Amino acid sequence: MSTESTPMLAAERQQRLLEELRTFGRISAAGAAEKLGTSTETIRKDLILLENRGLLRRVHGGALHLAPMTFEADVTTRSNNAEEKERIAVAALDHLPARGAVVIDAGSTTQAFVDRFPNRPLRVYTNALAIASTLASRSQVKVSTFGGHVRPVTTAQVGPMALRAIEPMDFDIAFVGTNAISVERGLATPDEDEAAMKAALIEHAERTVLLADHTKFAQRSLVTYAQISDLDVIITGRELDATHRAQLADLDVEVEFA
């Protein structure tokens, strides 16, 4: 192996590590070493270098994904973990009432949920134009939005007008998403206005179901808008690691692994 090729190989290996982290949220040094055909010690050195560049956070045995607190992917590009999100969406259908008032948050996993929404006599409210557009084709579903400023990144309606519209209302159940969730910090999102709207949806619902793929448990974000104790049900993927499962097991919230 020439000395000229070593830096390139190291860069490729480190890029693969970052791709794994973006996909799975967490990696183990031993697992990465086996997958990339190198030693655990080499992976540990890579993780140290990447942590020094602010690209990940090392933990015992591996690393966690690290993104800026204000990072937010455009909703049209959120195709990661699509199969897991589909499983979560199908599981969420079991929580739909036969009748009543439902409110649905903006997000890629909630979008997967409404893509499978039944044509049932429900009153559905949403702060997401994309979700409203999808549900408009269901003849028995009466769908309404709240008005307000539309955020291009998520198509969510936010701001004072939307908050005023929701203030006098109460819903049977809310289906919400999140950018980040942890036992320590609760639920968080990068935008202050969207955080206020998400908090209002939860506050005005008798029951709240969170739809979140397993990588959301490895994320951090700028604004905390709720605690896990504010939720009734969490639906996530069976990919969620043992550490997060153990933390959730100690809380008074129902957890489903789709």
pLDDT per residue as tens, the chain (258 positions): 333 334 448 888 998 898 788 767 778 999 999 989 999 999 999 999 988 888 888 888 998 776 655 555 555 445 568 999 999 999 999 999 999 999 999 999 999 999 999 999 999 999 999 999 999 999 999 999 999 999 988 899 999 999 999 999 999 999 999 999 989 899 999 999 999 999 999 999 999 999 999 988 867 788 999 999 999 999 999 999 888 899 999 999 999 999
Amino acid at 135: L
Query: Which residues pair with residue 257 across a beta bridge?
Result: 236
Sign of the dihedral defined by the CA atoms of residues 209, 215, 218, 219, in that order? negative
- Picking from 113, 135, 111, 116, the residue whose alpha carbon sits closest to that of residue 125 is 135
At 119, list the tokens: 């044509």
